């Protein structure tokens, strides 16, 4: 049993610098951003805490999020890049892991994987947000298609692996890419390059909130992690679980995490 969110100690919360969080089914509820979840981002900002979403969602979405949400930056496509909005210059800034030339070559290889998945796994589809991606291939297994069973999801992963691609299972997609990066490695680069900090030396000042297997590297790395209740869908598939769990799922759970943090810091 994962301990309750309420077990996090006050001294941990008061030392926090930033909240890092997944988006789908962590910050959202049934695909929607609730008023409580979005308000919680403003609460973090008002109380001097940094907020950085870290997601498998595409570059096109991340462009919007970096510009318009009250966040300090965003890591997207499972670590292919980070974006941030330069408030001084009033301009969106982008930092990719690969050059444009390399990304173009990798897209051709991913297209071959896409063709094989669609030809061999009934019910699988290319994710609806694929058009806005720069570096990975997202296969939909339950967002806009009838949910596929675990065996079918594993077969999708097998196709990626057969071609030498990395892959991660989120709550809605199987994301695959060529390269040795992931969410955690790009987050380390973001923290060093944007904030001048060595994440390894100060990771106890971060709290990560997630919900699915593709969040495992961060659950394993950070000492302070929370899963929204959605995590229970995947707990039996995971080696590294969060240290604590919110009582509610999705965005409501995320809002509870922020409310708890703010309450302890204010109290």
- Domain containing 225 — which CATH number? 3.40.50.1000
* Domain containing residue 166: CATH number: 3.30.70.1020
Contacts of 59 (CB under 8 A, 6+ apart): 76, 77, 80, 81, 83, 132, 133, 134, 135
pLDDT digits (tens, 9 = 90+) for 158-193: 999 999 999 999 999 999 999 999 999 999 999 999
Same domain? For 77 and 105 the reply is: no
How many Å apart are CA 30 and CA 132, to the nearest integer? 21
- Of 206, 183, 236, 177, the C-alpha closest to 74 is 183
Same domain? For 240 and 147 the reply is: no
Same domain? For 87 and 198 the reply is: yes
- The domain in which residue 115 lies consists of 100-177
Q: Which of 120, 154, 177 is the last residue of a domain?
A: 177
- The sheet with strand 125-126 has its strands ordered as 125-126, 137-140, 173-177, 166-169
Same domain? For 63 and 127 the reply is: no
Give the per-residue pLDDT at 96.
98
Same domain? For 117 and 77 the reply is: no
Give the per-residue pLDDT at 130.
97
Give the per-residue pLDDT at 171.
92
Same domain? For 11 and 88 the reply is: yes
Same domain? For 119 and 235 the reply is: no
Same domain? For 84 and 212 the reply is: yes
- Predicted TM-score (pTM) of the model is 0.94
Give the per-residue pLDDT at 1.
85
Total structural domains within the chain: 2
**Which residues of the chain are under the pLDDT cut of 70?**
none
Same domain? For 146 and 229 the reply is: no
Q: Which of 177, 212, 228 is the last residue of a domain?
A: 177
How many Å apart are CA 50 and CA 196, to the nearest integer? 14
Same domain? For 166 and 203 the reply is: no
Measured in whole angstroms, the distance separating CA 44 from the mean position of its chain's CA atoms is 18
Q: Which of 160, 177, 194 is the last residue of a domain?
A: 177
Give the per-residue pLDDT at 210.
97
Give the per-residue pLDDT at 267.
79
């Amino acid at each position: 049993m994962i301990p309750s969110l309420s077990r996090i100690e006050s001294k941990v919360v008061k030392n926090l610098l930033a909240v890092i969080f997944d988006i789908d089914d962590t910050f959202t509820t049934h695909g929607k951003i609730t008023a409580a979840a979005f308000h919680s981002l403003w609460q973090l900002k008002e109380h001097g805490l940094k907020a950085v979403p870290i997601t498998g969602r595409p570059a096109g979405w991340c462009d919007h999020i970096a510009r318009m949400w009250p966040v300090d930056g965003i890591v997207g496509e499972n670590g292919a890049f980070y974006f941030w909005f330069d408030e001084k210059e009033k301009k969106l800034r982008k930092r990719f892991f690969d050059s444009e030339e390399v990304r173009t070559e990798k897209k051709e290889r991913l297209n071959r994987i896409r063709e094989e998945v669609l030809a061999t796994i009934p019910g699988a589809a290319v994710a609806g947000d694929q058009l806005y991606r720069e570096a990975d291939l997202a296969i939909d297994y339950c967002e806009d298609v009838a949910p596929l069973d675990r065996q079918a999801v594993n077969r999708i992963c097998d196709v990626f692996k057969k071609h030498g691609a990395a892959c991660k299972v989120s709550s809605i997609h199987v994301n695959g890419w060529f390269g040795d990066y992931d969410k955690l490695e790009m987050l380390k680069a973001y923290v060093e390059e944007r904030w001048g900090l060595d994440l390894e030396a100060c990771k106890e000042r971060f709290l990560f909130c997630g919900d699915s297997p593709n969040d495992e590297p961060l659950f394993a790395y950070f000492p302070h992690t929370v899963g929204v209740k959605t995590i229970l869908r995947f707990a039996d598939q995971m080696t590294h679980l969060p240290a604590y769990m919110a009582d509610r799922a999705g965005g409501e759970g995320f809002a509870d995490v922020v409310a708890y943090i703010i309450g302890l810091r204010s109290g």
